[in-house]
Amino acid sequence: MYDTTDNTGKTKGDSKIIRIDEQEIRSHLDRIVKGTVEDTLNSLLDAEADAICQAGRYERTPDRLDTRAGYYSRKLQTKAGEVQLKVPKLRKLPFETAIIERYRRRESSVEDHLKALHKFYLMQ
C-alpha cells in the first residue's frame, strides 16, 4: 500500500469541501425578503405623504399643501414575519394611506409581488 498522507496528517489530493447549510440559506433569504418588504412599504408610505403634501421632505415650494410632523410606528404581519412601518404624520391634512387599510394588521399581496420580483432577479 502507498502512504497518501503528508507530514501534517492530511490526505494528499484532498480538496476543500464546501458544505451548504440549507436552513442557514433559507433563514438568510427570509431576512432579506422581510427587510425588502419593510423598506419598500416605508418608501411607498413616504412617497404617498410627498404626494399629499405636493412636496418632498424638507422641500420648500409655493405649491406645498402641508408639512411633515414625524412618524408613528405600526406593526404589520406579513408572510415574511412582522415588519415595523414608519407611518408619516402631517401637520394639517389627514394621512390615509392607500397601501394598507387603516386597521389592517395582516398583509400578503404586497409581499407576494415582492417575492416574485426577488425570484425573477435571482434567476437572471
pLDDT along the chain (124 residues), means of 10: 54 69 87 92 93 87 90 88 92 86 60 66 65
Measure Cα distances from 77 to 30, 74, 124 in Å: 14, 10, 30
**In contact, 87 and 74? CB cutoff 8 Å:** yes
Give the pLDDT score at 42: 94
Q: Amino acid identity of 48?
A: E
Give the pLDDT score at 88: 94
Chain centroid to CA 63: how far?
32
Structural domain boundaries of the chain?
Answer: 22-123
Helices (H), the chain: 22-53, 109-123
Angstrom distance (rounded) from CA 101 to CA 121: 29
Question: Which three three-digit cell numbers place residue 1?
Answer: 500500500
Give the pLDDT score at 26: 86
At a CB cut-off of 8 Å and minimum separation 6, what does 41 contact?
76, 83, 85, 99, 100, 110
This model's pTM is above 0.75: no
Give the pLDDT score at 39: 94
Give the pLDDT score at 103: 54
